[in-house]
Chain A
Amino acid sequence: MGLSELLSTYGEKYLQGLLATWSMTAVSFVFVMMLAVLVTVARVSPYRPLRVVGDLYVQVFRNIPGVALLIIIAYALPELRIVLDWRTCVIVTTILLGSAFGSENFMSGINTIGVGQIEAARSLGLTFTQIIRRVVIPQALRTTVLPMTNLLIAVMLTTALGSQVPLSPQELTGVVSYVNTRATGGILAFLVSALCYVGTAFVISLVGNRIDRKVRILR
């Protein structure tokens, strides 16, 4: 099967796959960032139990394979009467994994702030919450644009876990299996999806670089 035949037969399927990948990526990433902020705040808080929980969260989800986590969420949670639809299972898996890495990015961003600025803020009379909100988070966000850009790409690639469960519509990787069970698309069927991933990643990097240049903090 040639490229033109592949596209004329399955073009729409690929397009749907691309859109599904994009939307799962976008939804996941929003929650990844929110959760990463929360986990990081816990990890730097003055309360030891919170710090322990935050560190534990990162250790667990940074070190568990995506497929294993997906299986737990998709097949073990229903035992506890928590039933999520397939798409949600994939997204939750991606969020848990991604936020652990996101928090690691934030921690390295926070380490560049320097204890002096925090002490200056404390001596002005700012409370912990005010310091986090006005000094720590803005700087952590602005110094971690590039790593977070990489994380966004990683999140997109993680949504390929969707090929392991019956999604409708399927995402890009699922589409490849779909095509190959029906026709002998072979390597070409895979290449089309790969190009979509690479193209998206390229655009993400471009935008990320631009944002980084704009918000980077002079030191």
Chain B
Amino acid sequence: MSQEQAAEKNVPVIELRHVDKHYGDLHVLRDVSLSVARGEVVVIIGPSGSGKSTLCRTINRLETIDSGEILIEGEPLPQEGRELARMRSELGMVFQQFNLFAHMSILDNVTLGPREVLGQPKEEAEKYALELLARVGVAEQAHKVPAQLSGGQQQRAAIARSLAMRPKAMLFDEPTSALDPEMINEVLDVMVELVRGGMTMIVVTHEMGFARRVADRVVFMADGQIVEEGAPDDFFDHPRSQRARDFLDSIKGH
């Protein structure tokens, strides 16, 4: 490996420095700093309203921040316009509600980004899209519209849609929370495959089994702050803060 590549490897793919954000009087993110290295998988957990979604959304600049810095591979997020759109296209985002485009076939959902944003020709985009749809196990559904698929299939298609942009990192905001229990694993399996492939990921989830299995680090948020972070087994078995203990008790309770 050349020195240059080695140096690049040390630059975090995603880095937040002292990020603050308010919604009116509500201080949703308080001095949040977080750094995600290449290939690292960070799981974020925390009570409802603690700012997990907001954190994900600021990384993609779906939300603006009041102060602090967000860097993608060492470059600050552009303010707006084409530059911002380009930067966004380098981060994949998967939502709780799938958010597939309702009027398009699954195949068109996956090729829209590559064709519009990357300017890929139709055949090339479709070839790769079909490959990805096969990888997530919904190739059969390529010509259906989203409403004809189950929730689990829609979420897997949504993951393929993000992957089609060949992102540098993926952000998942509670990707299995809207799913019926029997479909959760089919989506988690796809995510585990991504981890095996070396994808850099931030995952907001309460699936502790998943976190223990693949996370390099668990970050616990409460009231807009990162309260504690650590290796998954350490965190789940020996949480240091009272807030984390209370929270873990509450989700183990049911």
Contacts and interface: CB of A to CB of B under 8 A. Distances in A.
Contacts of B25: none
B148 A126 contact: no
B60 to A, nearest CB: 5
B101 A123 contact: no
Contacts, number: 79
A217 interface: yes
Contact of A116 (B89, B97, B116): B97
B112 A119 contact: no
A127 B145 CA distance: 23
Given A119-B95, A134-B112, A218-B147, A125 B117 contact: yes
Contacts of A168: none
B62 A125 contact: no
Interface residues of A, number: 22
Contacts of B92: 123
Contact of A127 (B60, B82, B103, B112): B82
Contacts of A130: 116-117
A134 B102 CA distance: 12
Given A134-B116, A218-B145, A218-B148, A124 B103 contact: no
A134 B117 CA distance: 12
Interface in A120-149: 120-127, 130, 134-135, 138-139, 142
Given A218-B145, A218-B148, A123 B93 contact: yes
A184 interface: no
Contact of A124 (B112, B146, B147): B112
Contacts of A127: 82, 85
Contacts of A119: 62, 95, 99
A125 B88 contact: yes
B165 interface: yes
Interface in A57-105: none
B117 A123 contact: no
B215 interface: no
B91 A117 contact: no
B102 A217 contact: yes
B156 interface: no
A219 interface: yes
Contacts of A114: 99
Nearest to B171: A123
B248 to A, nearest CB: 30
B93 A120 contact: yes
A139 B145 CA distance: 13
Interface in B89-142: 89-93, 95, 97-103, 112-113, 116-117
A40 B45 CA distance: 40
Given A125-B89, A142-B103, A217-B147, 5 more contacts: A123-B92, A125-B86, A127-B85, A218-B145, A218-B148
